[in-house]
Amino acid sequence: MSSPDPSPNTPPTSFLSAPSTVRFDFENTYARLPERFYVRLDPTPVAAPRLIKVNVELARNLGLDPDALASEVGVEILSGNRVAEGSEPLAIAYAGHQFGYFVPQLGDGRANLLGEVMGRDGGRYDIQLKGSGRTPFSRGGDGRAGLGPVLREYIVSEAMAALGVPTTRALEAVATGERIFRETILPGAVLTRVASSHLRVGTFQYFEARGDAEGIRELADYAIARHYPEAAQADQPYRTFLDGVIARQAKLIAQWMCLGFIHGVMNTDNMSISGETIDYGPCAFMEEYDPATVFSSIDRQGRYAYGNQRLAAVWNLTRLAEALLPVLAQEAGSEEAGIASAKAALAAFDPQFSAARIAGLRRKLGLVTEHEGDAALVEDLLERMAANRADFTLTFRRLCDAALGEEGDLAAQSLFADPTAYDSWAVGWRRRLEADSVPKEERAAAMRLSNPSFIPRNHLVEEALNAAILHQDFQPFEQLIDVVTHPYEDRPAWERYTLPAPPQERVTKTFCGT
């Protein structure tokens, strides 16, 4: 439930100068699909919308006026209090496996797709409100979002974008002036999310669960036209589409793991067909390296632990292949041939994932060429890091200095409980570096573009959220956004943002916010 907040928080960002007009120039292709794909409805208005932050650079890249978005009218639109010209608000239908259990109807229970815009890069992007009120898919929920989860998604999604990971983005955050009730009473907020689309594995499962083969075909045709146009010209367009989704997900999960990122809720309704990271809930970045690391408070069995994310992706993609079987079978000539086609597509995931992961780890270690023993060298380091509780991000960042010479070893060595574990590994690493004829300064510079100095460390995220929620102080949030959107820079003044949490500030659980 939500109710007016008698003391609504007042974010520090005031409205900018009044713009001429708030223009989105929506071009809405999803709204042209049959109406069983969604439910048309407007967002639910909020009590007292106030701007928290507008993403100026993203707005401009989308061809939008950031001053207009920050104006009173812009905030009314992006809080759900006003429908913009050309908007066709709707809630998308989808299903999904949640922690392995199938739910035949999920859908946008607290989100509203306002429409689509064309970015300056020629891409098509959804503009969606998250926390915009009840829909027919809310399943008894209030359809609202708390300030904390909104700010968390803003921070982490923008960090991921700066790290070079395909992701949904945060365009604007607005406080609602209302309270929402979860475990405690929280201030409400609405996030404006930008995505290449909101098509999910679960969107296909929705039609599979209803035996709607024509719906699967229409959805696949739409996804091909929007995300995989090359598939339309292939001899087997639906198999080519499935191949494309698998390839993008293999690369995406490899990128996550090379950064120590843990999604936390890799359900099929949280896997995007476009290959973007979507639905940041109880996500986190690992500090001490341990493949069994879990932060999500709802992942009690470790299904989506750091080291299980590859397996989770394969499981989800298998569900996608199952949903596509009607169209795969038709184009392959029989059900048996369709199943064989799906299996062949899925068999490509592991080789593609392994290739993307080892390529990423080679870059992190400064290895320019490919040698047979590289995988063993990488795994040896990771095993030593796990045994010695070495910080994942800091270890690789400090190797950038160690690549310049042995005088840089001390900083990396200090991260290992047993410093000799690093020393003996470094001997083999330096021998391997000698096999590549690359100037050490050039190597170190390249490594710094693969090994971030700054990630949104969990305790710093919590610090920013608590300041905003408890004290209406948004300065830590603003500062953290500044830091994590410049992840590869060296800034001595920001040293505290590079360091693991002190023992008393460690965050061991993160929460979804629904």
Rounded Cα–Cα distance for residues 37 and 110 (Å): 17
Distance between CA atoms of residues 74 and 250, nearest Å: 38
Report the C-alpha gap between 424 and 430 in whole angstroms: 11
CA distances from 205 to 81, 197, 317, 362, 505 (A): 33, 17, 11, 37, 41
Cα 464 to Cα 67, 163, 264, 457: the distances in Å are 25, 20, 20, 11
Q: Which of 269, 279, 391, 401 is catalytic?
A: 269
Tell me the DSSP string of 402-435.
Answer: HTT-GGGHHHHHTTSSSHHHHHHHHHHHHHHHTT
Q: Locate 462 and state its tokens.
A: 């919590």
Give residue for tokens 């990630």: 455
DSSP letter string, 35-98? GGGEEE-PPPP-SS-EEEEE-HHHHHHTT--HHHHHSHHHHHHTTTSSPPTT---EEE---EEE
Rounded distance between C-alpha atoms, residue 218 and residue 95, angstroms: 17
Coil vs helix vs strand at 476 = helix
Q: Is 269 a catalytic residue?
A: yes
Q: Identify which of 187, 163, 157 has the alpha carbon closest to the alpha carbon of residue 55.
A: 157
Which residue's structure tokens are 């090379």? 258
* Whether the Cβ atoms of residue 197 and residue 224 lie closer than 8 Å to each other: no
Give me the phi and psi of 226, to 5 degrees please. Answer: -85, -40
Residue type present at position 286:
M
* Active site (catalytic) residues: 269
